[in-house]
Amino acid sequence: MNDVSPVSPASVAAGVPRPRRPSAFSNALVFGWRAVLKFRHVPEQLFDLVMTPIMFTLLFTFVFGGALAGSTDDYLQFFLPGILVQTVAFNAVYSGMGLSTDLGKGLFDRFRSLPIWPLSPFAGLMVGDVLRHLIAGGIILAIGLMLGYRPEAGIAGVVAAFALLVAIGFGMGWIFIVLGLLIRTPTTVMTVGFTFLFPLVFASNIMVEPATMPAWLRAFVEVNPISLMTTAMRGLMGGGATVGQVLWALAAPAALTLLLAPLTLRLYLRR
């Protein structure tokens, strides 16, 4: 008996009083904390998230801006709300990749074998997503302000626009969570994600007004959810947004959540 040292695996395993089982909400908070820790340990991930939109902003403003809108200043005014939509759409792909990585490593096997609320790991992913959207959006906005962008609707407009942005990111997030659950290779999640997103983002009113497009394409651009979101963002930041515009912008995220949240749970619990 003497050979059992005071801190051996046996001594640490035996006789631990079990704490009371925590609530679903408390489980979700723990996963949110994990997302925050990830930011602390892997700050590089922000670089991936903001580099593309920063390059897009500079490229479109200074190379194409004058030709497209008469002056670079006018173009930036038009373009910035849209690039924020593009940023959160692309960001959502990364959370799918993260999920696919976790699943591949068996981390979720541990979570699934714990007596916790099954959706709580996803709540954590969502917290991470919201943080990513806010940080990336904030950086893009700051760069826009430095380049001369002026949100005419003031601070209230920007706050409302960012709230919409988070809602958009939340809705789009489900698409990539489902992809992350279905596809076991993170790079494939990225390829599939971007293949799906590119036509949606480019065949939209983010970069140009659809007036000069052929009629068939214009018809698509006008109903493209990305266009509806961009229109609402422009309205909120530049002033003059209507309730209708905002509701249309929220339609796709709401539909995606209603459709894909139950599917996510089904796929996750499938065994």
Partner 1 sequence: MAMYDVANEYGTDRAGLYRPAISARGLVKRFGDVAAVDGIDLEVPRGAIFAILGPNGAGKTTLMRMLATLARPDAGSASVMGHDLLAAPHEVRAAIAMTGQFASLDEDLTGRENLVLLARLWGFRGRAARERADALLAAFELSDAARKQVKDYSGGMRRRLDIAASLVVTPGVLFLDEPTTGLDPTARQRVWRMIRDLARSGVTILLTTQYLEEADQLAERIAVIDRGRKIAEGTSRELKAATGSGFLHVALADPAQIDAAAAILQARLGHPAQRNVEGARLNVVAGSAAAANAGVAALLEAGIELSDFSLGSPSLDEVFFALTGEGPAAEERADATGAEA
Q: How far is the CB of 28 from partner 1 (least distance, A)?
A: 10
CB of 15 to partner 1, least distance (A): 7
d(CA 56, CA 198): 13
To partner 1, the closest distance from the beta carbon of 194 in angstroms equals 23
Complex with partner 1: residue 42 or 55, whichever CB lies closer: 42
With respect to partner 1, which residue has the nearer C-beta, 114 or 142?
114
Residue with structure tokens 């479109």? 60
Helix (H) or strand (E) holding 140: helix 120-147
Handedness of CA 140, 146, 151, 155 (dihedral sign): positive
Tokens standing for residue 80 = 């910035």
Give the nearest distance from C-beta 112 to partner 1 in angstroms.
6
Binding residues (CB under 8 A) for partner 1: these are 4, 7-16, 18-22, 26-27, 30, 33-34, 37-38, 41-42, 102, 105-107, 109-116, 271
Whichever of 26 and 191 has its CB closer to partner 1, that residue is 26
- Of 33 and 62, which CB lies nearer to partner 1 in the complex structure? 33
> By C-beta, is 37 or 55 nearer to partner 1?
37
CB of 45 to partner 1, least distance (A): 9
Do residues 248 and 227 touch, judged by C-beta distance below 8 A? no
Nearest approach, Cβ of 1 to partner 1 (angstroms)?
9
Closer by beta carbon to partner 1, 13 or else 211: 13
Q: Could you tell me the smallest distance in angstroms from the CB atom of residue 21 to partner 1?
A: 6
Backbone angles phi, psi at 207, to 5 degrees: -90, -45
Beta-carbon contacts of 44 under 8 Å, excluding residues fewer than 6 positions away, are none
Q: How far is the CB of 133 from partner 1 (least distance, A)?
A: 20
Q: Which two tokens stand for residue 144?
A: 């826009």
Q: How many CB atoms lie within 10 A of CB 155?
A: 8
Provide, for the chain, the percentages of residues in helix, strand and coil under a 3-state DSSP scheme, each rounded to the nearest 5. Answer: 80, 0, 20
Identify the residue whose tokens are 């969570």.
177
- Tokens 């695996």 belong to 9
**Two tokens at 194?**
């971007």
Pick the closer one to partner 1 by CB: 18 or 223.
Answer: 18
Alpha-carbon distance 220 to 215, whole Å?
Answer: 9
Which CB atom, from 11 or from 71, has the smaller least distance to partner 1? 11
CA angle in degrees (0–180, nearest 5) for 28-259-193? 85
| 117 CB-near residues (< 8 Å, 6+ apart) | 24, 27, 28
